[in-house]
Amino acid sequence: MLFVFILVVFTGVFFYAYITGGDSRALSMFAGDGVGVLQIEGAIDDSQSVLAELKRFKEMPWVKAIVVRIDSPGGAVAPTQEIFEEILRSKKQKPFIASMGGMATSGGYYIAAACDRIVANPGTLTGSIGVIMQLTNVEELMKKVGVRGVNVKSGPNKDIGSPFQPLSPEGREILQSLVDNVHSQFVTAVAKGRGMSEAQVRKLADGRVYSGAQARQLGLVDQFGTLQDAIDIAAKRAGIDAEPAIYYSRPEQERWWERIFMGVFGYRLPRPEGGGWLRYEWSPSLLQ
């Protein structure tokens, strides 16, 4: 009878964990102390889901350390900065180790720099410490189809970047000043996170991409290793002697038709992009 009761409780707990996406409160009853893996994948256009998962890990007493697994080209400036600042605050409570996958460039590196230690593969693409703003001018195209854009504005610079007119020298100067300012914020953040001088970082911050091996030589990465290596480092820093349990952040829920589309065509439905056109991002598509 006792065996049946235990079996029912055990089954109920794991069924609850299953329907809630692997709820750590349920799983921790059996798994014990461990390491949370915060997954940051794809373009960073919004910070809310990452911050929510980070908050969840911070509030779990059985999650003793956090590995930030990054496979991202970067993204919008403000969401990247929000994640960076939250990691800086949170690592006062728990160790944070960055684990770089195939790519952790620009905003992806920005976030990694906030962690206590950065683990990468020799072939990881990283660096790209810089800012890009892309504007499109369709003035000549609109002339061909007989359409002319008209701007009614409150000031001479309100329509900077309009696709219906060329960028004036004054407008270019204003936008370049904006890009330079945001770039300086990037340099300051990396210097703060990595314990380097701003002069050291600025020498490396011309936007170029580095391999993991190059980044290690330059002091942007601490060591080579896999995700499991990063988990082991985090567990050791947290004082976990036994094999740590691993708690993964919950991926963004996809709707049933999105899962069907992925199964049939092999890629996800495109989603609206957000975050604006001032970006900490590297991608070959941005250079075309």
- The question of whether 55 is a catalytic residue gets the answer no
Q: What angle do CA 166, 283, 110 make, to 5 degrees?
A: 105
168 secondary structure, DSSP code: P
Burial class (CB in 10 A: 0-12, 13-18, 19+), 242: exposed
- The question of whether 158 is a catalytic residue gets the answer yes
Q: Which amino acid is at 170?
A: E
In angstroms, rounded to a whole number, what is the distance separating the alpha carbons of residues 202 and 197?
A: 9
Sequence-distant (6+) residues with CB within 8 A of 207 are 128, 129, 130, 132, 282
Q: Which of 284, 280, 279 is nearest to 135 (CA)?
A: 279
Burial class (CB in 10 A: 0-12, 13-18, 19+), 37: buried
Q: Could you say which of 55, 143, 158, 203 is catalytic?
A: 158
Q: Could you say which of 24, 106, 128, 249 is catalytic?
A: 106
Q: Which of 117, 102, 93, 110 is nearest to 229 (CA)?
A: 117
Q: How many residues in the chain?
A: 288
Q: Exposed e or buried b for every residue in 259-280, given b needs 16+ CB within 10 A?
A: eeeeeeeeeeeeeeeebeebbb
In angstroms, rounded to a whole number, what is the distance separating the alpha carbons of residues 157 and 170?
A: 9
Contact 69, 110 (CB under 8 A): no
In angstroms, rounded to a whole number, what is the distance separating the alpha carbons of residues 74 and 40?
A: 10
The residues carrying an active-site annotation are 106, 158
